[in-house]
Amino acid sequence: MVTPGQKEQCAEFAIKSFKIAHARACRLFNCSRQRKYYSKKMPVKDKPIIEAIQNAIGCSRKGRKKVIPIVRRKCPEFSTCSIRRVYSRHGFSLMKRHKRRIRNHAANPASVPLSANGEWAIDFMHDALTNGRQIRSLNIIDPFNRECKGIFIDYSIPASKVIAFLEQAIESNGKPLSIRTDNGPEFISKRFQLWLKNNKIAWNPIQKGKPQQNCHIERLNKTIREDLFDAHLIDSIEHGNDLAAQFRHEYNCNRPHESLSNLTPIEYAA
């Protein structure tokens, strides 16, 4: 199907190449003769709207939803549709900040290491204090004997605190050969990756949307949710860390695991 614009291009080519009249070229290509003499009126009509938008924006950074009511308040004769059309057509739209795509990793199914500290699995959990303030916890488990290596609670846990908490756990339990995580921003950060490289610890990331590939820490998270966060009202960070220490001792020393032939993690490691 040939569009009117393409017909006009053909007519202009025939006029220049074969020196024929404009009327004859229009008859040959079945296009309108009036389009040559028509001048668009929209640029003239849009000029006051453009000026109103420029005055509304000024030196600031405003989006369409802010600009339209400001222009309508000063110039009620301009319709919302006209302002929206001019705002989009004349380059006033703000640049969209595209979400950074995380590179998906190859399938990395969970496995049980053959010795202690062969691999650690870590993950975050969220909860709230009695005053409503949000808190996070960093949980660490050794899949070999299901031993909980640490539960660290704080208001926020960026990559720097993750490294500090891991160094505390390494000082008490020894260094793991690898660490399994999801693709959270703390774990893919340059600081955390550099720390892994400097300490010669391998990184085992799971695939996006595949929490079952980190099943051991997910199972620990369920127990922490039921026996720690849902069972207690936490008043402060110090109170939460005290309860976490008590839970960790109970989990490692007194709680039998079916996967360990009903032994506790400490008994199985011995």
Model confidence over 26-49: pLDDT tens digits?
988 888 888 777 766 667 788 888
Max CA separation in the chain (angstroms): 100
Give the pLDDT score at 166. 92
> How is residue 264 annotated by DSSP?
-
What is this structure's pTM? 0.63
Q: For strand 178-181 and strand 147-154, is the pairing parallel, antiparallel, or unpaired?
A: unpaired
> How is residue 132 annotated by DSSP?
S
Q: Do the beta carbons of residue 169 and residue 190 sit within 8 Å?
A: no
Give the pLDDT score at 237. 93
Q: SS3 for 104?
A: coil
Q: Which residues in the chain land under pLDDT 70?
A: 39-42, 98-103
Cβ neighbours, 10 Å, residue 253: 12
Cβ neighbours, 10 Å, residue 209: 10
Give the pLDDT score at 240. 93
Q: SS3 for 101?
A: coil
End-to-end C-alpha distance for the chain, whole angstroms:
80
Sequence-distant (6+) residues with CB within 8 A of 251 are: 148, 223, 227, 265
Give the pLDDT score at 101. 66
